[in-house]
């Protein structure tokens, strides 16, 4: 039982995570390190995503962090911090510094609520998607298992954000 647990489960999951997470980490680093003019690629892509992100109660950096963190959802917040600090590497901050950084970037209660809702409802990580594919042997089911929660997350966040804004202006 110990052998099966360690080799069949733990090492397999770790190997899958390394195969997927390593390229994602490289992509995130490149986006933070490569500059076009005075902006990093991360800032450029975030600017492009900003209008849609605003519609669902987020900002471009937050939405970009969700996109590039598909391999591992636990790197969403460090990617957001990296984007806000215009850094070329992920950085850990204490809770007070993180709160100040988010506040300085324009986070409101609505932003935090939409961030939590999107985090709760969005697509699964790539390891889960791979498992869905392996168990169903269906690319269509795997795509559906990713697009359905993403669609729900977008609709819920858009409803919350735009209702929030409507009542905030009254």
> In the numeric block, which tokens belong to residue 51?
């209008």
In tens, the pLDDT along 108-142 reads: 999 999 999 999 999 888 878 888 998 999 999 99
Closest CA to 52 of 41, 61, 40: 61
Number of domains comprising the chain = 1
Closest CA to 48 of 59, 32, 56, 37: 59
Q: Which domain holds residue 58?
A: 2-169
In tens, the pLDDT along 5-36 reads: 676 677 777 776 677 777 777 888 888 888 89
Of the two residues 58 and 69, the one the predictor is more confident about is: 58
Residue with tokens 């850094």: 87
- Please tell me the predicted confidence (pLDDT) of residue 119: 94
| Average pLDDT value over all residues in the chain | 89
User: What whole-number distance in Å separates Cα of residue 118 and Cα of residue 57?
Assistant: 9
- Please tell me the predicted confidence (pLDDT) of residue 42: 92
- Please tell me the predicted confidence (pLDDT) of residue 3: 72
- Please tell me the predicted confidence (pLDDT) of residue 127: 79
User: What whole-number distance in Å separates Cα of residue 1 and Cα of residue 101?
Assistant: 47
The pLDDT-based confidence of 150 (bands split at 50, 70, 90) is very high
């Amino acid at each position: 039982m110990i052998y099966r647990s360690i080799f069949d489960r733990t090492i397999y999951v770790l190997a899958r995570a390394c195969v997927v997470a390593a390229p994602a980490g490289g992509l995130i680093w490149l986006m933070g390190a490569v500059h076009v003019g005075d902006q990093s690629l991360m800032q450029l892509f975030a600017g492009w995503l900003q209008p849609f992100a605003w519609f669902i109660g987020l900002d471009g950096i937050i939405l970009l962090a969700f996109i590039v963190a598909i391999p591992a959802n636990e790197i969403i917040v460090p990617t957001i911090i990296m984007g806000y600090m215009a850094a070329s590497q992920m950085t850990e901050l204490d809770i007070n510094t993180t709160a100040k950084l988010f506040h300085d970037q324009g986070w409101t209660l609505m932003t935090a609520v939409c961030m939590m809702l999107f985090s709760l409802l969005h697509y699964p990580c790539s390891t889960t998607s791979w498992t869905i594919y392996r168990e169903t042997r269906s690319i269509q089911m795997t795509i559906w298992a990713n697009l359905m929660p993403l669609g729900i997350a977008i609709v819920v966040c858009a409803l919350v954000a735009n209702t929030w804004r409507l009542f905030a202006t009254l």
